[in-house]
Copies of this chain bind each other. A is one copy, B any other.
Amino acid sequence: MKRTLAEAELEQVARHFRLLGEPMRLKILQALCGKPRTVNEIVAAVGATQANVSKHLALLAAAEILTREKDGQCVYYGMKDPLTLKLCELVHNQLAE
């Protein structure tokens, strides 16, 4: 880090990391690696409750980690930023050592 971050910035960075600190959310992100998917598709992919997935998606979208696009009665969620995936890769590679 180039300079010392203020409390508010630390809080923000921490919140971002905390969002990535949940296996189910990582699973959801994994499911969205390739292309955007509907909630139902994601539910099927990760094997969790619809309500549970929906809550996680809302959090991830609110943090702008995911995009949210409505199409008819379906809602498509997709990766907003490749950085997130990069972060996961980095951590995983390090842990693999």
Q: Which residue numbers of A lie inside 8 Å of B, CB to CB? A: 1-2, 4-5, 7, 9-23, 25-27, 30, 33, 81, 83, 85-92, 94-95
Contact = CB atoms under 8 A, between A and B. Distances in A.
A26 B4 CA distance: 11
27 contacts: A1-B30, A1-B88, A1-B89, A2-B89, A5-B92, A9-B92, A10-B23, A10-B26, A10-B27, A11-B23, A13-B88, A13-B91, A14-B23, A14-B25, A15-B21, A16-B91, A16-B95, A17-B21, A17-B87, A18-B18, A18-B21, A19-B21, A20-B21, A81-B94, A83-B94, A86-B90, A87-B90
- The prevalent SS among residues of A at the interface is helix
Contact of A14 (B4, B9, B22, B83): B22
A9 to B, nearest CB: 7
A20 B5 CA distance: 14
